[in-house]
Structure 1
């Protein structure tokens, strides 16, 4: 499958079957995240894997959006490890997002669906899962196999035209009028 076909096929899953994700698939997904590029190769991402029944029950107290997934990744970064340029952005956020995207796409290629979830209570996550104060939580990612009858939302096929999203450079002439060339 081409990359563009993979990107088109992937959607945010919101109805998971109770079937667990196989260990070898989870390891491949995590490896895709490990291989993702980060600013100055600082690798600040920190990923917590939640898959025990007790952990999943605790996760339900931190987000209403687990959607029955048998596996949830808590995505964050260590603020002491990130590359930093305060004039641009806190790169830990960017790096963790790149890592998450790599993992989502690897999961999709393996037949494992996912959903990026920002509707979380970071304080509850930190407390319930003993997450250190040096880690900033960005999101959670429920993962698993789609439930029977599951499909993409109606908005999945809705995209702005490329002309609204992309502009090409245009340079003004530096030639001054009335001067010799």
Structure 2
């Protein structure tokens, strides 16, 4: 299912096509494609080239125990559809600079950049990726053995597009709903806060 954005100005086709569907095909993800996603993430920009991102990745069929451990951290709403995804991962940010141990206030931003690279690469490969904030952060930290100084950021389900008919009715409606974003003028100002950008 394709749902390209209805943009007001031209943007790259990958950006138009990227969205966060919930219907996944029951089809394994090839290891070379999975590695390609992490290669894309690896080349994201970061403050001082710190590369604060880390990923915990699980394959539903290859290691069900690890998949179930991450799955158990999800909110009940996400559990209703994520069980169909072949790959589930958790992005994690290193909160301090490696060279001096000082806080890296850009760690979350830079981890987000790496995830966006991963998501766009997924789109380029005919895959889909859905990022989720709905998970128990403390349970993920404990169950996955995440050490101090690292922060769980987002869960990400990855796989091939599936048929929305496999979803509960209310999620099928959300899948078919047109994508929307607020106008540029509501997010961008000119020079200082409150000055309209035209």
Q: TM-score normalised to the size of structure 2?
A: 0.74
* Contact 2:164/2:175 (<8 A) preserved: no
Q: Which moved more, 1:106-115 or 1:14-23?
A: 14-23
- CA offset at residue 137 of structure 1? 0.8
**TM alignment of 1:61-140, pairs within 5 A:** 61-64=72-75, 65=78, 67=82, 68-81=84-97, 90-140=105-155
In structure 1, what is the Cα distance between the partners aligned to 2:88 and 2:158?
A: 6
How large is the Cα RMSD of the aligned pairs?
2.6
Q: Are 2:28 and 1:27 aligned?
A: no
Q: Are 2:8 and 1:4 aligned?
A: no
In structure 2, what is the Cα distance between the partners aligned to 1:155 and 1:135?
A: 36
| Structure 1 match to 2:68 | 57
What is the CA deviation profile of residues 87-124 of structure 1, one whole-angstrom value per residue up to 9, with x for unaligned ones?
Answer: xx821111101111110001111011011101111121
* Contact 1:84/1:91 (<8 A) preserved: no
In structure 1, what is the Cα distance between the partners aligned to 2:113 and 2:101?
A: 16
Q: Which moved more, 1:156-165 or 1:41-50?
A: 156-165
**TM alignment of 1:8-19, pairs within 5 A:** 8-19=16-27
- Structure 1: state its 5+ residue gaps: 171-181
Q: Are 2:175 and 1:167 aligned?
A: no
- CA offset at residue 24 of structure 1? 0.7
- Structure 2: state its 5+ residue gaps: 1-9, 166-171, 193-198
Residue-pair matches, total: 167
3-state secondary structure, aligned to 1:153: helix
| Structure label with greater radius of gyration | 1
Q: TM-score normalised to the size of structure 1?
A: 0.81
3-state secondary structure, aligned to 2:132: coil
In structure 1, what is the Cα distance between the partners aligned to 2:134 and 2:164?
A: 24
